[in-house]
Amino acid sequence: MIAGSRSINYLRISVTDRCNFRCRYCVPAAPFSVMPHHEIARYEEILKITRLACDMGITKVRITGGEPFVRKDIFSFIEQLCAIDTLSDISITTNGALLTRDKIQTLIDLGIKRLNFSLDTLDPDRFAAITGRDRFKKVWDAIMTAHALGITPVKINTVVLRGINDDEIVTIAGLTRKFPFHIRFIEYMPMGDLHVEKQQPQMLTSEIRRRIEAGIGPLTPLTHKAGDGPAKKFQLADAPGVVGFITPISSHFCSECNRLRLTSRGFLRPCLLNDYEKDILTPLRKGATDAQLKEIIQAALKHKPLFHTLGKNRLKDIPVSHMTSIGG
């Protein structure tokens, strides 16, 4: 698929807006309700849309949420997704709290080779304060189990929040000296009515990198390869792991973006940081033909912007959608 000059081959699928955590930078500050089940795309509908997208050039899929593993029968869905032979890469983003050793082994047996874990602190008490749940040990055990069972690379996504977890930047980056993990520091993206944006000044990659280098040594840049994604990758001396930076605010990577998102409500979203969405679930349920559904997918891509404006006007351009409803 083509959007302007960009080739789109990556579909991120949110299978649910529900989550077993309530992370302070993800869940809305105001009370909110999850969507009723009948408004969520059924697995067979997601698979139908995915197969059509694969016909049009999608070769990579990432399963997201909410938290994907809170949805019933998720392993059956993953098995069917892995059976699509034109998909060369299927990965999952998870908080890890529901992943036991048996479940991780099942994922590996199904063909999942990569897991991205969300982890913003190594301190159990702070973990509970950020996520609203006392589940640090379960998450850490899942990360170490994935590593022991051969998931490679294990990726850890860390959102840096000034005054909340920025004092752990060096310690978290230091994990790459012990393990072959890919630690990716992500600039906080203000979305919806989240209270974090109003309370905490953002910390951008330039400062995060300076702190790492001042604390544990220089970072050597690694060659960016096709298919590497948006992270700018570096390595500490003699480290088996990789330190990455994802810079949606300080240095957007829109010109290289190869992603299309399918939200749990069955809307196509060409850009995470732009509120435009195209409903494909309603036409599907009303009996649209494959050709008509492919036209909807292509029409959505015509709205993929060349750049986002987040960060230029701090409050005016904040997307009104919440991350829980989109899937990161």
Query: Domain residue spans in the chain?
Result: 2-326
**Sheet with strand 182-187: strands edge to edge:** 219-221, 232-236, 242-246, 182-187, 154-160, 114-118, 89-94, 60-64, 10-14, 259-262, 267-269, 278-279
pLDDT recorded at residue 29: 57
pLDDT recorded at residue 25: 75
pLDDT in tens, the chain (328 residues): 777 667 899 999 999 999 999 887 776 655 567 788 889 999 999 999 999 999 999 999 999 999 999 999 999 999 999 999 999 999 999 999 999 999 999 999 999 999 999 999 999 999 999 999 999 999 999 999 999 999 999 999 999 999 999 999 999 999 999 999 999 999 987 655 555 444 456 799 999 999 999 999 999 999 987 666 778 999 999 999 999 999 877 766 677 788 999 999 999 999 887 788 999 999 999 999 999 999 999 999 998 877 655 555 544 454 445 555 566 5
Taking domain 2-326, whether its CATH number is 3.20.20.70 is answered by yes
pLDDT recorded at residue 310: 57
| Spatial contact of 46 and 262, defined as CB atoms under 8 Å apart | yes
Helix axes 136-148, 124-131, angle to 10 degrees: 110
Residues 87 and 82: their CA atoms lie apart, in Å, by 7
pLDDT recorded at residue 34: 78
pLDDT recorded at residue 109: 97
pTM confidence score: 0.90
Smallest CA-to-CA distance from 67 within 132, 122, 18 is with 18
242-246 vs 182-187, strand pairing mode: parallel
